[in-house]
Amino acid sequence: MAEAPRLVLATRNQGKLRELRELLRGQVPGLDVDTQVIDAAAAGVPDVPETGVTFAENSLLKARAVFEATGLVSVADDSGLAVDILGGAPGIFSARWAGAHGDDAANLRLLLDQLSDIAAPHRAAAFVCAASVVSPELEAVEEGRLAGTLLTEPRGANGFGYDPILQPAGMERSCAELSPEEKNAISHRGQAFRALLPHLVKALS
């Protein structure tokens, strides 16, 4: 019989859920990440409107809403791609850059089209993530950033979102050409959640 959930991740994105489970695996004594770390859909929580104007604001408002709905330790992240020449856009609008939320292919193609005349030296960008935890005893937010250069065409079949077009600084592969272990070691989300880990351990202990 599966143990009762102890932590809810405020997302329906299975890629994010897998990444959080892997980051938490073996880190919190007594936590079975495969059965006790669930997403918002499994918890029966509807989507939370992202009305903040920063990654940190959106992350916290989602974690607070899920905590209020479930009473369980709640974790959220808000993340996206910040392109230097676009003044930090798509930013908080990354998941709906092309209009429909979560249409990765359309978002990616639109961004590439917008940057089609931009030379490599001016294609600097970074993935940015703000991760938060809310429990009865605490609230915390941590941030991570993965800088790199945008490719002109997608490469690789791993990851999701804009992973196929961001080549991390100092690497010759896109994020989508990295193994999950390689990506977690350097990713913006990995950085943010590793920084959040002490708060999570405290919230779950």
- Asked, for residue 43, whether it belongs to a domain, the answer is yes
Strand bridging mode 139-150 / 37-39? unpaired
In a domain, 1, yes or no: no
**Rounded to two decimals, what is the model's pTM?**
0.88
Residue 112 lies in a domain: yes
Which contacts of 152-161 are long-range, i.e. CB under 8 A and separated by 24 or more positions? Answer: 152/112, 152/116, 153/112, 154/108, 154/112, 158/183, 159/15, 159/183, 160/13, 160/15, 160/104, 161/15, 161/81, 161/94, 161/95, 161/104, 161/107, 161/108
pLDDT in tens, 129-146: 999 999 999 999 999 999
Q: Among this protein's residues, is 78 annotated catalytic?
A: yes
Residue 183 annotated as lining a ligand binding site:
yes
pLDDT tens-digit readout, 155-173: 999 988 999 999 999 999 9
pLDDT above 70: percentage of residues in the chain: 99
Residue 12 among known ligand-binding residues: yes
Evaluate whether residue 2 is within a structural domain.
Answer: no
| Domain span holding position 161 | 7-204
Residue 147, beta-bridge partner list? 126
Confirm or deny that 116 is annotated as ligand binding.
Answer: no
Query: Quick one: pLDDT at residue 2?
Result: 61
The 10 Å Cβ neighbour count of residue 100 is 10
Catalytic residue (one of 39, 78, 84, 104) = 78
Q: What is the pLDDT of residues 83-133, one digit of tens each?
A: 999 999 999 999 999 988 878 999 999 999 999 999 999 999 999 999 999
Task: Give the CATH number of the domain where residue 159 resides.
Answer: 3.90.950.10
Q: How many domains does the chain divide into?
A: 1
162 appears as a binding residue in the annotation: yes
- Strand duo 37-39 + 73-83: pairing: unpaired
- The answer to whether residue 128 is domain-embedded is yes
Residue 163 assigned ligand-binding role? yes
